[in-house]
Amino acid sequence: VQLVESGGGLVEAGGSLRLSCAASGFSFDDYAIGWFRQAPGKEREVVLCISSREGSKYYQDSVKGRFTISSSNAKNKVYLQMNSLKPEDTAVYYCPARPLGLTSCHYWDHFYDYWGQGAQVTVSS
């Protein structure tokens, strides 16, 4: 199983970025894919998650209306579209995967088995 995040960068406040998560070694039908982020000096937090069982699931009210998660099973990719970015969105973003079991998406990073290297997103004010 391999996950590779891309699309990060530096953007001004109010701008947009689209992160991609390329997955290999497993089927999206069998896994939930989350987007987590970790800002400097803070704990890692879940932002969004998607699975074939639940669809998309938001965990942070602060991103509702601004961030959207989507997936392409044909391309084995998950996307995070981020609009109206704010300086507080600055973080390293990760797309971990966890196999579907009794539950699919989860807010706790310990339940995700596979992680990519992360993508840095920096939003300037």
* pLDDT tens per residue across span 21-42: 999 998 888 999 999 999 999 9
Residue 99 per-residue DSSP state: E
Backbone angles phi, psi at 29, to 5 degrees: -65, -20
Q: Is the pLDDT of residue 77 over 90?
A: yes
Residue 75 per-residue DSSP state: T
Residues 38 and 122: their CA atoms lie apart, in Å, by 12
Q: Is the pLDDT of residue 13 over 90?
A: yes
Q: Is the pLDDT of residue 62 over 90?
A: yes
Residues 24 and 57: their CA atoms lie apart, in Å, by 22
pLDDT (mean) for 13-25 = 96
Q: Is the pLDDT of residue 124 over 90?
A: yes
Bridge pairing between strands 9-12 and 119-124: parallel
Residues 43 and 47: their CA atoms lie apart, in Å, by 12
Q: Is the pLDDT of residue 101 over 90?
A: no
The pLDDT of residue 74 is: 87
